[in-house]
Amino acid sequence: MSGTSLDGVDAALVDLSAAQPRLLATHWLAYPDDLKADLLALHEPGENELDQSARIANRLADLYAEATLAALTKAGVGPAQVRALGCHGQTVRHQPARGYTLQINNGARLAERTGITTIADFRSRDIAAGGQGAPLVPAFHAAVFGAANAHRVIVNIGGISNLTDLPPGGPVRGWDCGPGNLVMDAWTRLHFGCDYDAGGAIAARGTVNAALLTQMLEHPFLAAPPPKSTGREDFTVAWLMTLIQDDTSPEDVLATLLELTVHGISDAIRQHCSGASEVYLCGGGAHNLTLIARLRAHLPSLTIEKTDALGSPIDWVEAIAFAWLAKRCLEGGTGNLPAVTGARGARILGAIYPA
């Protein structure tokens, strides 16, 4: 898995022989700075994009292979023992309204480099069926985290935040809530010289600017009803700069961005997840202590914990999910939930590149 935050590659080796996935080994590779810059550039129209995309896809496939083989080495497992490799690819454009989403990768090269049957391009079939192509993890959340005696909400806080509503005996729903770490990370790099605000310590020094928050909350995506999905195109530093007054301190802007993320999640739960009693967090944002404290302040009647309590470490839930989606593809099982993505029906997701 490599997500919207553009921080690196998560590789997870997973035993899916039982109902509860068993995490056997993990490995993380940071993106080199030049690769991150090239990926950011691809989010906007530019010169020679086709060549750039193809070259970066090859480079990504090599990184995915390196991370995969490192995880296997840690576990003492050979490629021949692995049934399949599910690879999400790196999103550079997400335009479901225009009928496409683009996760760059080279599945053939990845299969060749690892010797493992590779499943890639999970999102396109859902969009072809009229869906948003995202989020795809709710089907996994339902299979692994659903409970017969508790109404749970699973919240992934990556670059974008998304949630899955799991009412016992009710329909599973899920959607993107808005920005997660995306704009906060960009602002932190710009003003504080680090890739992210560790633990939310910098935001904790700031004060929420109520007027700025009000303007942020007027973003049309936040008011749109689910099903819906968003990406880096909708929430940018350029958008933020149109709202900021010159006298607002960088710390106050970061505190306000954090509050925007909290509002996106908590408002969605209050408006659309009636009866929920438990919230479980995963993704990089689950390390942000300030964000968690603010979520608890906004949702005082709900129990808010991390997915570790359910047996899945917060940093690896999405990588595990794409292993699960790869298994579904090979078995001919559907991977999307039409109530989540808006697709015309359930579809088998992914393109298969045999070893």
Same structural domain, 120 and 147: no
- The pLDDT of 126-146, averaged and rounded, is 96
pLDDT at 297: 98
Percent of the chain with pLDDT over 70: 100
Residues 6+ apart with CB under 8 A from 324: 14, 16, 21, 86, 140, 143, 144
* Lookup result for tokens 């999400």: 88
Same structural domain, 126 and 145: no
- Token pair, residue 82, equals 């692995």
Per-residue pLDDT at 169 exceeds 90? no
Domain encompassing residue 168 = 138-310
- The pLDDT of 134-162, averaged and rounded, is 96
| Residue 42 · residue 92 · CB < 8 Å | yes
Number of domains present in the structure of the chain: 2
- Token pair, residue 299, equals 């949702």
What confidence tier does 4 reach under pLDDT thresholds 50, 70, 90?
Answer: confident
CATH code of the domain containing 237: 3.30.420.40
| Whole-angstrom distance, CA of residue 341 vs CA of residue 135 | 7
Same structural domain, 297 and 186: yes
Per-residue pLDDT at 212 exceeds 90? yes
* Lookup result for tokens 């809530």: 177
Rg value, the chain, Cα: 19
Same structural domain, 164 and 290: yes
User: What DSSP element (H or E) covers 350?
Assistant: none
Same structural domain, 304 and 228: yes
Domain for residue 1, yes or no? no
86 bridge partner residues: 119
Domain for residue 190, yes or no? yes
Per-residue pLDDT at 246 exceeds 80? no
Q: What is the chain's mean pLDDT, rounded?
A: 96
Same structural domain, 32 and 173: no
Domain for residue 2, yes or no? no
Domain for residue 169, yes or no? yes
pLDDT at 82: 98
Same structural domain, 127 and 147: no
Same structural domain, 147 and 265: yes
pLDDT at 25: 98
- The sign of the dihedral angle between the CA atoms of 344, 21, 30, 199 is positive
Same structural domain, 294 and 326: no
Instruction: Indicate whether this model's pTM tops 0.85.
Output: yes
Per-residue pLDDT at 330 exceeds 90? yes
Domain for residue 301, yes or no? yes
Same structural domain, 129 and 263: no
- The pLDDT of 87-110, averaged and rounded, is 96
Domain for residue 92, yes or no? yes
Same structural domain, 17 and 93: yes
Closest CA to 177 of 140, 215, 219, 139: 219
Domain for residue 3, yes or no? no
- The pLDDT of 277-300, averaged and rounded, is 98
Closest CA to 279 of 304, 254, 315: 304
Same structural domain, 298 and 319: no
- The pLDDT of 169-184, averaged and rounded, is 95
- Phi, psi (deg, nearest 5) at residue 251: -65, -40
pLDDT at 170: 86
- Residue 88: count of CB within 10 angstroms of its CB: 23
